[in-house]
Amino acid sequence: MDGVYINKVSEHEGSEVKIYGWVYNKTHKGKLYFLMVRDGTGMIQSVVFKGDVDEETFENAEKVTQESSVIVYGKIKEEKRAPGGYELQVTKLDIIQVAEEYPISPKEHGDSFLMDHRHLWLRSTRQHAILRVRHEIIRASREFFDNRDFVLVDTPIFTPSACEGTTTLFETDYFGRKAYLTQSGQLYAEAGAMAFGKVYTCSPAFRAEKSKTRRHLIEFWLIEPEVAFYDLEDNMKLAEEHIAYVVQSVLENRKNELEILERDTKILENSTPPYPRIHYDEAVKMLQDMGMDFAWGSDFGAPDETALTEKYDKPFFITHFPAEIKAFYMKRDKDRPECALACDMLAPEGYGEIIGGSQREDDLNELLSRIAEHKLPQEAFEWFLDLRRYGTVPHSGYGLGIERLLAWICKLPHVRETLPFPRMLHRLTP
Ligand code: 4AD
Ligand code: MG
């Protein structure tokens, strides 16, 4: 293959090139065919003029249908009016396959039809834009941690115990023993932090959550840093710098995609640290002042989060949640033992929680009491308790939900478009 990729055609202006791709759409005007050819890196208008090509090529132009696979040959010409700024003056068109009638046409389709055809829907411009922003979020996150000497620690998917409570575990048979799909790599990341000081994971997480909302997936991806000797404030500083770095990278490197998505970028440009830190007490008061029926001790539901996010024009933290509603591993506030040293980051514009984090309980006896209070099987956590037996130190970390951040950055109405093949309550296919 000696073809040229469409995103590089500007380097070949005036020359003859060969492009491998698919026909995105086609229009016809007398002796002219305009084929939009896509190759995954971009799209180029390819003009077939009867007077310039042999008979076979003109017939092929007539034959090709939407999504037919082709090889086009021709000269690259600058053309300001063409999408992408260049045009291919076709000299030859070879067909690899004439595609059958393509189910996704430019007309409007319902969500469920599109989701059933997700394997084909991925070829559309909007899905390209979203998934390229997703790639950038992961790339920039890894660059952020790599630049700070964090070590990537890969954590297991099969686990013997729960990290985030037992209600949302997926159980599976592990050669006659029970195993669970991981809800979070955190406990293993903590072991990593005691070994390497600063670590992060990037892994799928699985939760059997029977929530059918615009922000819940059954399988989603977490980026989880964990740092030895960090307290809650250090953790929040890391989180806000991380998010600001990712948002800035998307603004710089995925400008085109944000334009395709018609994203107003003002709020993204405004997302520079510091982010406000709101104590849970204060958040409760804010909700009550807004006239919402919310009592201290409850967890925020989607409407509560939405109401809070409308008060801010950048991401913000809510801290010191009631310990009762949070996971067993969170350290308590020594002056307010009913509160956990937790920090959730919420995205503005109604998006809500994108990060959950905390300072961890580093005292062996406290942790043993928490495990008992949460009715968790101590045997399964013996290895984790070893981290408190052998050189325990204060430490903190958080988990960023990639799909939640992506949904906000692109201002998507639903997380269904944030993964190539999302797994949701009622969707296991394609
Ligand atoms: O707040 P969560 O449950 O925190 C943890 O799992 C910690 N162990 C992380 C840590 O401290 N290392 O989940 C973290 C993030 C949430 O803020 C949210 O962005 C995302 O994971 N998340 C989901 N995203 C999509 N669908 C779901 N069902 C999600 N559940 C959590
Ligand atoms: Mg959470």
pTM attached to this predicted model: 0.97
Residue 285 pLDDT exceeds 70: yes
What's the confidence (pLDDT) of residue 217?
Answer: 97
Looking at every residue in the chain, the average pLDDT score rounds to: 97
DSSP 100: P
Residues with CB under 5 A from ligand 2 (ion): 356
Separation of alpha carbons 250 and 253, rounded Å: 5
396 lines ligand 1 (CB under 6 A): no
pLDDT of residue 83: 84
CA of 353, nearest ligand number: 1
What tokens does 43 get? 């799209």
Q: Quick one: which ligand is closest to 346's CA?
A: 1
Contact 71, 94 (CB under 8 A): yes
The rounded Cα 417 to chain-centroid distance in angstroms is 10
Reply yes or no on whether the pLDDT at 106 is more than 90: no
Expressed in angstroms and rounded, the spacing between residue 336 Cα and the centre of ligand 1 is 25
Does the beta carbon of 257 lie inside 6 Å of ligand 1? no
* DSSP state string for 84-98: TSEEEEEEEEEEEEP
Query: pLDDT tens digits, residue range 75-100?
Result: 999 999 988 899 999 999 999 999 99
Residue that wins the pLDDT comparison between 1 and 75:
75
CA within 13 Å, CB half, 193: 29
Give the C-alpha separation, 169 to 176, whole Å.
18
Identify the residue whose C-alpha is closest to ligand 1 atom 11: 398
- CATH 2.40.50.140 intervals, the chain: 6-97
pLDDT digits (tens, 9 = 90+) for 315-340: 999 999 999 999 999 999 999 999 99
pLDDT digits (tens, 9 = 90+) for 202-242: 999 999 999 889 999 999 999 999 999 999 999 999 999 99
- Provide the H-helix boundaries in 197-311: 232-253, 255-260, 266-269, 280-289, 302-309
Q: In what order do the strands lie in the sheet with 171-174?
A: 158-159, 177-181, 171-174
pLDDT in tens, 150-202: 999 999 999 999 899 888 999 999 999 999 999 999 999 999 999 999 999 99
Structural class in CATH, domain 6-97:
mainly beta
Average pLDDT over residues 102-116: 92
Q: Homologous superfamily of 118-417 in CATH? A: Bira Bifunctional Protein; Domain 2 (3.30.930.10)
SS (H, E, C) 377-401: CHHHHHHHHHHHHCCCCCEEEEEEE
Element (H, E) at 205: strand 198-206
Q: Does the beta carbon of 355 sit less than 6 angstroms from any atom of ligand 1?
A: yes
Ligand 1 mean position to 430 CA, how many Å?
25
Ligand 1 near 216 CB (within 6 A) = yes
Determine the pLDDT at residue 92: 98
**Distance from residue 32's CA to the centre of ligand 1 (Å):** 54
- Quick one: pLDDT at residue 25? 94
- According to CATH, where is 3.30.930.10 located in the chain? 118-417
The confidence score (pLDDT) of residue 393 equals 98
